[in-house]
Structure 1
Amino acid sequence: MAFEDKFETPPAAGTSHVSRIAVSAVRLLLGLVLIGLVLLNVVNALARATGIVVIGVDEVLVFGMIWMVMLGMLLVTADRGHIALELLATRVGSRTAHVFSIVTHTVMAASCAYAAYQSFLFVQRVNAAGQTSMALGMPMLIPHSALVVGFGGTALIAALLVISDIQALMSQPRLKAAP
């Protein structure tokens, strides 16, 4: 059984086979990282119960979760799976749903682009200062870059969804008023 068959993401309108494989791979990676973080947390709890403190585990758990949330945000946006957006969009007609999606994804693209830019400026300052984490000495560039990747990627995906929705809206026939 091929990788793409086992972890196939259901095809959405306008998605390519390559993008579905990429999404499936990211989902698999996030699942494996989550399992690893849970196991690490169990080992850390058992070690503490026996009086052993493992230095840096808490940092790895927090930094891992930050990256998981930011990468998960990319997947949820690409799947159009934000709960509030999905709830409203399913209760209106097709044309209205496209208009609603255009507006919400435009706002999302703009706000995430702004957040990504501000995060990038902060990462630059953290990197210039040479700031490292307290336990592991990990450059703080690594965990803070998750925000740049997450918000920047979400802004890009939301912008692509706006373009897709505009194309879909333009291709739909308009209802004519009765004479």
Structure 2
Amino acid sequence: MAAAESQPVTSTTRSSGLPRFSGAVMGVLHTALGVILLFVVLVNFVNAVSRYLFGISPVGADELMVYIVIWTVMIAAIVSLILRSHINVNLLPFYTSGRARHVLHIIHDAAAILACGYATYASWLFIGRISRLGVTSMGLGIPMTIPHAALLVGFAGLTVTGAIMLIRDVLAFARNAPHAEVKS
């Protein structure tokens, strides 16, 4: 029964190169997102130093940090769903194996598709409303559709990722085969 359990993809796995390539892409994305967050910390540091030491407040620095963090979080959410490294209560899947684990993953995937699909739709409607109004940010003067598009892109990406994972998990259930988790 141990063969039916989920097995991480490593460089020694004899499968197609796609899981290894996916793992490499996820690793690059993790690194890029970390560098972006370090940039936000740098902007915050420069903002604080210039504000409290020199009495100069850079226009739009706070907005820039918030918008970058929102985009980073939404992209990281997609990466986390792909890797199944998101925060979840996985006691039940952890202690199950074989077909029972596949069923739990299928339920998880379906719930992700429903929730994220609805959030994608709501984000689309909201962006439509604010684009008609022509709202711009106060500091940087950028259209507010740009920061709000992060939610649309993020939830749409989560919906598509959930659909791909649902197909993968249904096929694994049908074959009663272990499915390979992408590891960064």
TM-score by length of 1: 0.84
Q: 2:22 aligns with which of 19, 23, 42?
A: 19
Q: 1:73 aligns with which of 73, 77, 81?
A: 77
Bigger RCO of structures 1 and 2 (CA < 8 A, at least 6 apart): 2
CA shift at 1:26, angstroms?
2.2
Amino acid at match of 1:153: G
CA shift at 1:85, angstroms?
4.5
Amino acid at match of 2:132: A
Is residue 40–residue 65 contact of structure 2 (8 Å, CA) maintained in 1? yes
Is 1:159 the equivalent of 2:163? yes
Q: 2:106 aligns with which of 102, 120, 124?
A: 102
Note the alpha carbon deviations across 1:4-27, whole angstroms, 9 max, x for none: xxxxx9679884454334323322
Q: Distance in 2 between matches of 1:90 and 1:140?
A: 42
Is residue 98–residue 176 contact of structure 2 (8 Å, CA) maintained in 1? no
Is residue 41–residue 61 contact of structure 1 (8 Å, CA) maintained in 2? yes
Amino acid at match of 1:32: V
Q: Distance in 2 between matches of 1:10 and 1:40?
A: 37
**When the two structures are aligned, how many residues end up with a matched partner?**
165
Q: 2:51 aligns with which of 44, 48, 51?
A: 48
Is 1:90 the equivalent of 2:94? yes
Runs of 4+ in 1 over 3 A off after TM superposition: 9-22, 85-88
Q: Distance in 2 between matches of 1:87 and 1:73?
A: 21
Residue aligning to 2:172: 168
Is 1:137 the equivalent of 2:141? yes
Q: Tell me the SS of whatever aligns to 2:84.
A: coil
Residue aligning to 2:124: 120
Note the alpha carbon deviations across 1:69-106, whole angstroms, 9 max, x for none: 10010000000112325443212222211101100110
- Structure 1 pair 29–65 and aligned structure 2 pair: CA distance change class (3 A): same
> Percent same amino acid at aligned positions?
36
Is residue 78–residue 154 contact of structure 2 (8 Å, CA) maintained in 1? yes
Matches of residues 59-70 of structure 1 in structure 2 within 5 Å?
59-70=63-74
Is residue 74–residue 154 contact of structure 1 (8 Å, CA) maintained in 2? yes
Note the alpha carbon deviations across 1:110-130, whole angstroms, 9 max, x for none: 110110111011111111211
Q: 1:31 aligns with which of 31, 34, 42?
A: 34
Segments of structure 2 that go 5 or more residues without pairing to the other structure are 1-8, 178-184
Segments of structure 1 that go 5 or more residues without pairing to the other structure are 1-8, 174-179
Q: Distance in 2 between matches of 1:57 and 1:137?
A: 12
**Alignment RMSD (CA, Å):** 2.1
